[in-house]
């Protein structure tokens, strides 16, 4: 997947300025950047939720991207199993979804409506939904916020296990996250203006 000179401005605020970088197929990358510098905007353009002002994205189609947003975006009255099943083909077995979720969540919470879950549990349902969706590229926007270290390590192992060779792009502020993921870093500052200092 390749960003080639992608520009996006909101009025006079030039958020993406000829953003240029390549994600090798099957690679794991962390997108690192200070808050407010444009990571979410980059993802929104990638997903086709915002139209780029200029430039091109090649090598992936928006319908083949799994996305975990900064907000959990769960259906509040549905259980974790039902939330994940929503993004799967009707033939998907509920027992398989349950087994997947049980790898990172206490079994007791799998039948509770999402509105009754803790913040960290909700993050994990949202992550499992992104990982479960059949895609070519998995994009996670600050997926580990609110998780303690042990849970984060469990969740990272889960993510790597289930990405199944797909390209993985994770926005994070944590150097530790990048290390645990075994990811190379892409610094958004470096890939602006034509990608002068691409990691």
Ligand X SMILES: Nc1ncnc2c1ncn2[C@@H]1O[C@H](COP(=O)(O)OP(=O)(O)OP(=O)(O)O)[C@@H](O)[C@H]1O
Q: Alpha-carbon distance 22 to 57, whole Å?
A: 10
Contact predicate 26/166, CB 8 Å? yes
Interface pick for ligand X out of 22, 37, 151, 187 (rule CB under 6 A): 37
Q: Is 33 in the site for ligand X (CB under 6 A)?
A: yes
171 and 140 Cβ atoms separated by less than 8 Å: yes
- Pick the stretch among 28-36, 76-84, 113-121, 162-170 that binds ligand X (CB under 6 A): 28-36
Give the alpha-carbon dihedral of 197, 24, 143, 138, to 10 degrees.
150
Residue choice 38, 80, 143, 195 for contact with ligand X (CB under 6 A): 38
Identify which of residues 33 and 139 has a Cβ nearer to ligand X in the complex: 33
198 binds ligand X (CB under 6 A): no
State which of positions 126-185 bind ligand X (CB under 6 A): none
A 10 A CB-CB count for 186 gives 25
Pick from 141, 138, 1: which is nearest to 57 by CA? 1
Chain positions 63 to 102 lying near ligand X, rule: CB under 6 A, are: 70
Taking CB under 6 A as the criterion, the residue among 13, 56, 111, 198 binding ligand X is 13
15 binds ligand X (CB under 6 A): yes
Are the beta carbons of 185 and 29 closer than 8 angstroms? yes
Please tell me whether residue 39 binds ligand X under the rule CB under 6 A: yes
Task: Name the residues that contact ligand X, by CB under 6 A.
Answer: 10, 13, 15, 33, 35-41, 70
């Amino acid at each position: 997947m390749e960003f080639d000179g992608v520009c996006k401005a909101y009025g006079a605020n030039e958020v993406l300025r000829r953003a240029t970088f390549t994600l090798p197929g099957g690679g794991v990358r962390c997108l690192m950047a200070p808050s407010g510098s444009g990571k979410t905007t980059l993802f929104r353009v990638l997903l086709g939720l915002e139209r780029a002002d200029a430039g091109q994205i090649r090598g992936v189609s928006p319908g083949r991207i799994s996305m975990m947003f900064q907000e959990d975006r769960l259906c509040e009255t549905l259980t974790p199993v039902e939330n994940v099943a929503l993004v799967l083909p009707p033939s998907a077995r509920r027992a398989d979804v349950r087994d997947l979720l049980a790898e990172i969540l206490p079994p007791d919470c799998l039948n509770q409506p999402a509105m009754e879950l803790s913040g960290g549990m909700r993050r994990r349902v949202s992550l499992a939904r992104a990982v479960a969706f059949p895609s070519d590229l998995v994009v996670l926007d600050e997926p580990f916020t609110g998780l303690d270290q042990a849970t984060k390590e469990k969740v990272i192992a889960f993510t790597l296990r289930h990405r199944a060779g797909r390209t993985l792009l994770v926005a994070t502020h944590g150097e530790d996250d990048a290390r645990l993921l075994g990811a190379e870093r892409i610094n958004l500052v470096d890939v602006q203006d034509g990608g002068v200092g691409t990691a």
